[in-house]
Amino acid sequence: MLGALFRICDFLDPESMKNVIRSTFEKKYPHLVEPNIRTFERGYNEVRFKTYETPEDAIGKEFSRPLPQLGFETQEIGGVITAQANSILKDLSGSRQGFLPKFEQEQCINCAACDTVCPDYCFVWEEGEDKRGRKQMFLKGIDYQYCKGCLKCVEACPTTALSELRESIGYAESRWVKQSFPYLVGGIS
């Protein structure tokens, strides 16, 4: 598998991988060096590339998937949204069970630990300059539309910039910082 991976990712250097194999085994298990390199080379050489043509009737349709047209005839029975706490607007706020992260910008050191653990890309950043005039990304806030209140970000935050807050009516709406995902531009009304 490793050999095949190096063949597919042509920016990876197979010679350096062989050196790693050599240095891993040569001291304690010198007899395993050559078999492992042979296995690596076999995986590398036996990759077969295949190109598939796009079927004629699919050409031009790749990016034209329409938004669902929900109406009298096509709606789910009773207007039910079967995906829990979701909708065509991808609003996850219904998944929150009473808690959300509260963000205090003054305490934030822009380390991005929160962004690394957030499963829903809720954190919104903007480019700015630090005190020395160097470009840096600054955390603007949270797009609560996508926040399901898992609070992983609160756990990850090394400062007090994020804390657990019992959600009250209107809080998320008043602190909402919108993402600008390309697929939502133009919006749905």
Residue numbers of the site for ligand SF4 (CB under 6 A)? 101, 108-114, 117-118, 120, 122, 139, 142, 147-153, 156-157, 159, 161-162
Query: Residue type for 174, please?
Result: S
Minimum distance of ligand SF4 from residue 77's CB (angstroms): 31
Q: Is the dihedral of CA 48, 49, 51, 52 positive or negative?
A: positive
Cβ closest to ligand SF4, residue 67 vs residue 83: 83
Cβ closest to ligand SF4, residue 34 vs residue 155: 155
Residues in CB range of 75: below 8 A, 6 or more apart: none
Minimum distance of ligand SF4 from residue 102's CB (angstroms): 10
Cβ closest to ligand SF4, residue 39 vs residue 179: 179
Minimum distance of ligand SF4 from residue 173's CB (angstroms): 15
Cβ closest to ligand SF4, residue 17 vs residue 111: 111
Residues in CB range of 122: below 8 A, 6 or more apart: 142, 143, 144, 146, 147, 153, 179
Minimum distance of ligand SF4 from residue 85's CB (angstroms): 12
For 50-187, list the strands marked E by DSSP. 99-103, 123-129, 135-142, 162-166
Minimum distance of ligand SF4 from residue 119's CB (angstroms): 6
CA distance 65 to 120: 23
Cβ closest to ligand SF4, residue 21 vs residue 151: 151
Residues in CB range of 105: below 8 A, 6 or more apart: 139, 140, 141, 161
According to DSSP, the residues that pair with 101 across neighbouring strands are: 164
